[in-house]
Amino acid sequence: MSSAANSPTALAESLLGGNRRALSRLISWAENGHPGFPAVLEAIYERVGRAWRVGVTGPPGAGKSTLVNELALQLRRAHDLQVGILAVDPSSPFTGGALLGDRIRMEELTADPGVYVRSMASRKSHGGMARAGVDACDVMDAFGIERILIETVGVGQAEYDVMGACDTVVVVMCPGAGDGIQAMKAGILEVADVLVVNKSDLPGADRLYADLVEAAHVRAARPMAAGHHGASARSASPEPEPDASGAWQVPVIQASAGRGEGIAGEASVLEAVANHRAYLEATGLDNARRQKRFAQVRRIVDEELDSRVWSRSDLEDRVLAALKAGSTSYDIARDLVVELIDGLVAQTPQEETA
């Protein structure tokens, strides 16, 4: 492409016209925090908000990739929907690309022009990964992709953050994963809108299913803390699967993604996702989505402040010297905060500080 064709305006136009190269390039812009991205988002923003964003997470070995592939196949075959798969990989560039490697085996999917598959690595900070993930989804959404499946590996805060930006979060577990189950129970049940017991033909699946049903009930019985569910969604009238308080009652689905069981049809993952969508649409989807986008604004602000503060090349040497002189981290930090705020002021345009 010529350099004019790479301008934010030209790329945005190409994207809206259905150009896949523009799609790929703009997701790279999102990933790298390209300075032209805000102008692109402005230009495509009217077309953002039509895709349904489904997050899929769970411990290593639970079968997330297989489930995502099966969901994509069903959405293509049965519903003829444009599908995007975004694999958010917490790996570094060291040996990266494992997730994409898995995908490439799914020949049926990658040969299908109705499926767009993309792997994003998190070279960036914690907040940067979730910010980039949301931006990438916005680009796919404006392109015309109707269902976006976002898969993360791991149970950390960054993955939690990525899931918090999705419309529906599917948490996948499988029997026999040992302390993985404990970690998942402890950490990520809170973000689940749909729970899936995968590999439900394996020993221990019934026990896991019973445990999860109980955990979902315990959660429903507790007053929910401020989480990724908007306040309006909690207080609205009952819909598809609400309990007496009007809150969404998390269903537990038994599936075997490797055999294609529990993916579509009755008591399936896709049915549960559709029910959750209907619930949100009935109880205030716009409010729920704005709550999630507030978190995105916060990530962008924090990233910007962080880069303004820590881009100063002299800071590290000065901190190291103060440490060598015996100051504690807190003493150094206290002095820095005062000084950095002064420094930020100096960078503020004159008309704004008057």
The DSSP code for 6 is: G
Which of left, alpha, beta for 163 (phi over 0: left; psi -120 to 50: alpha)? alpha
Cβ contacts of 69-73, under 8 Å, gap ≥ 24: 69/103, 69/106, 69/109, 69/257, 70/257, 70/260, 70/263, 71/149, 71/263, 71/269, 71/270, 72/109, 72/115, 72/149, 73/108, 73/109
Give the Cα separation of 78 and 20 in Å (integer).
24
Tell me if 60 contacts a second copy by CB under 8 A: yes
- Assess contact for 166 and 228: CB atoms under 8 A: no
Binding segment (CB under 8 A) for a second copy, from list 85-93, 238-246, 255-263, 274-282: 85-93
Residue whose CB is less far from a second copy, 110 or 328:
328
Binding segment (CB under 8 A) for a second copy, from list 142-150, 262-270, 271-279, 339-347: 339-347
Residue whose CB is less far from a second copy, 17 or 178:
178
Which residue shows structure tokens 């590290």? 316
Phi, psi for residue 79 in degrees, rounded to 5? -120, -10
Q: Which residue in the set 30, 155, 163, 172 belongs to the binding site for a second copy (CB under 8 A)?
A: 155
Give the Cα separation of 203 and 302 in Å (integer).
46
CB of 80 to a second copy, least distance (A): 30
Q: Which residue in the set 78, 265, 305, 312 belongs to the binding site for a second copy (CB under 8 A)?
A: 305
Tell me if 314 contacts a second copy by CB under 8 A: no
Q: Which residue in the set 78, 104, 202, 344 belongs to the binding site for a second copy (CB under 8 A)?
A: 344
Question: Per-residue x/- mask for a second copy, residues 33 to 52, rule CB under 8 A?
Answer: ----xx--xx--x-------
Give the Cα separation of 253 and 192 in Å (integer).
12
Binding segment (CB under 8 A) for a second copy, from list 4-12, 107-115, 263-271, 289-297: 289-297
Q: Which residue in the set 6, 7, 91, 249 belongs to the binding site for a second copy (CB under 8 A)?
A: 91
Token output for 147: 């269902």
Pairing of the two strands 52-57 and 147-152:
parallel
Could you say which residues in the range 108-127 bind a second copy, by CB under 8 A? Answer: 122, 125-127
Tell me if 331 contacts a second copy by CB under 8 A: yes
Residue whose CB is less far from a second copy, 17 or 94:
94
Residue whose CB is less far from a second copy, 115 or 212:
212
Binding segment (CB under 8 A) for a second copy, from list 79-87, 152-160, 238-246, 265-273: 152-160
Tell me if 132 contacts a second copy by CB under 8 A: no
Token output for 309: 């503060």
Tell me if 330 contacts a second copy by CB under 8 A: yes
Tell me if 201 contacts a second copy by CB under 8 A: no
Token output for 124: 């960036």
